[in-house]
Amino acid sequence: MNKTPLHQKHLNLGAKMSPYAGYEMPVIYTGITEEHQAVRTHAGIFDVSHMGEFIVKGKEALNLVQHVTSNDASKLTPGKVQYSCFPNREGGIVDDLLVYRLFDDQCAEGETAFMLVVNGANVDKDLQWVKSNNSFDTEVIDISDRTGLIALQGPKAEKILGEITDLDLSAIPFYNFKKGRVSSFDNVLVSATGYTGSGGFEIYAKNDHIGKIWDELFTRGKSLGLKPAGLGARDTLRLEMGYCLYGNDINDKTSPLEAGLGWITKLKKGSFIGSEAIAALKEKGIQKKLVGFRVVDRRVPRNGYPIYDEKDKVIGEVTSGTQSPSLGCPIGMGYVAVEYAVPGTPIRVKAGKKMLQARVEKLPLFKNS
């Protein structure tokens, strides 16, 4: 079992550890609800060093990124980030990812560079996928094993991080990044992408630097309500926002169109892997759609539970479910036949012998004001 560079920090904090994506990861420290609410009201700090990072660098780096991803990376300028996915040839999803257009200060003349940030459980699969489709004058470098990653999330995140960096954090808009000094380390990448809906930053640093950054954030953030947060709270936070989790809400058999990710699928940019299959499905029309829903009953829906209409007809299946700390009720996401995807539509979820009453809701389920 792999360990992140912050593993001992979690043990010292009394975290409940569990295998995840090939790593022993913190799931809970003091409780999911407490950690969740800390992120919504103050700040939470997550170790997400299990995520994968690939550098794509060369004269045809953009061509490779355009070929393997669904979004239009030509729109990116240095310092910008883009949410995207790797479609397969059948139009399903190999993985979802973030595409960073890196600065050109370390590139030779005529070269460009990108960083692809992928899900931890898919690092090996994604690396093989990108490399096997690289017929371009560019190289793909896996830096996952030497890169630590912290997500500092919540309304107090800017104040906390601002005390240990020379970067102007207010000048980093959503889906942008800068590089600068954090703690005593230079060339640390700080981005604002987020997976919680409460704002904040991601900090990419070398493995042997990330521990000191973690400690300094704790020292500065203690008086501002900063709490360590595990994968349990990360899941409840993302589900309230309707953010997809690979392996649950999207996989190699779901189309980005079905998953509500048409906005990151730019067919007009030209041919890319899977574009013909996706275009054919768009022309035909999707038959199912990923929706969010709120459960009226008290029981939590789980992945794989069947979804019914009011006449006992199976219309879909739950992909994710949890008890929402912010809303005080069970919530979920799942695929339903398109005619049932309208917000306000009553549905039922079968949990064993019990039918849970629910209704389709517009995403995000939680509006963070």
Specify whether 182 is located in the same domain as 299: no
CA distance 7 to 345: 45
Flag whether 65 is in a domain: no
Flag whether 211 is in a domain: yes
Two tokens, residue 282: 């768009």
Calculate Rg over the CA atoms of the chain. 21
Specify whether 365 is located in the same domain as 234: no
What's the per-residue H, E or C state across 220-232?
HHHHHCEEECCHH
CA distance 333 to 303: 9
Flag whether 296 is in a domain: yes
Boundary residue ending a domain (177, 211, 240): 240
Residue 369 has a pLDDT of: 44
Mean pLDDT of 194-223: 97
Task: Dump strand ranges (E) for the chain.
Answer: 16-20, 23-28, 43-47, 52-58, 81-87, 93-101, 112-118, 138-142, 147-153, 177-182, 185-191, 200-206, 226-228, 288-295, 306-308, 314-324, 329-337, 346-351, 354-361
Residue 106 has a pLDDT of: 77
Residue 330 has pLDDT above 90, yes or no: yes
Residue 107 has a pLDDT of: 84
Which residues contact residue 326 at a Cβ distance below 8 angstroms, ignoring those fewer than 6 apart? Answer: 36, 37, 40, 240, 366
CA distance 292 to 243: 10
Which residues contact residue 191 at a Cβ distance below 8 angstroms, ignoring those fewer than 6 apart? Answer: 81, 100, 172, 176, 177, 201, 202, 204
Please indicate, yes or no, whether the overall pTM of this predicted structure exceeds 0.95: yes
Two tokens, residue 310: 């009011």
Specify whether 28 is located in the same domain as 171: yes
Two tokens, residue 30: 């003091």
Q: Could you report the per-residue pLDDT of 46-92, keeping only the tens digit for each?
A: 999 999 999 999 999 999 999 999 999 999 999 999 999 999 999 99
Q: The CATH number of the domain where 36 resides is what?
A: 3.30.1360.120
Structural domain count of the chain: 2
Q: Could you report the per-residue pLDDT of 87-129, keeping only the tens digit for each?
A: 999 999 999 999 999 998 878 889 999 999 999 999 999 999 9
pLDDT over 70, % of the chain: 99
pLDDT over 90, % of the chain: 96
Q: How do beta strands 138-142 and 346-351 pair?
A: unpaired
Mean pLDDT of 182-200: 96
Q: The CATH number of the domain where 306 resides is what?
A: 2.40.30.110
Specify whether 310 is located in the same domain as 235: no
Specify whether 155 is located in the same domain as 229: yes
Query: For residue 148, how many C-alpha atoms fall within 13 Å in the half-sphere facing its CB?
Result: 19
The SS3 call for residue 121 is: helix
63 Ramachandran zone, left/alpha/beta (phi>0; psi -120 to 50): alpha
Average pLDDT, the chain: 97
Specify whether 295 is located in the same domain as 177: no
Mean pLDDT of 197-208: 97
Query: Which amino acid appears at position 247 of this protein?
Result: G
Closest Cα partner for 348 from 304, 316, 322? 316
Residue 75 has a pLDDT of: 98
Which residues contact residue 55 at a Cβ distance below 8 angstroms, ignoring those fewer than 6 apart? Answer: 102, 113, 114, 115, 140, 141, 143
Residue 356 has pLDDT above 70, yes or no: yes
Two tokens, residue 65: 């990124």
Residue-number span of the structural domain to which 203 is assigned: 7-48+146-240
Residue 363 has pLDDT above 90, yes or no: yes
Mean pLDDT of 134-153: 98
Flag whether 270 is in a domain: no
Residue 368 has a pLDDT of: 63
Q: Could you report the per-residue pLDDT of 269-314, keeping only the tens digit for each?
A: 999 999 999 999 999 999 999 999 999 999 999 999 999 999 999 9
φ and ψ at 332, to 5 degrees? -165, 175
Mean pLDDT of 120-142: 97
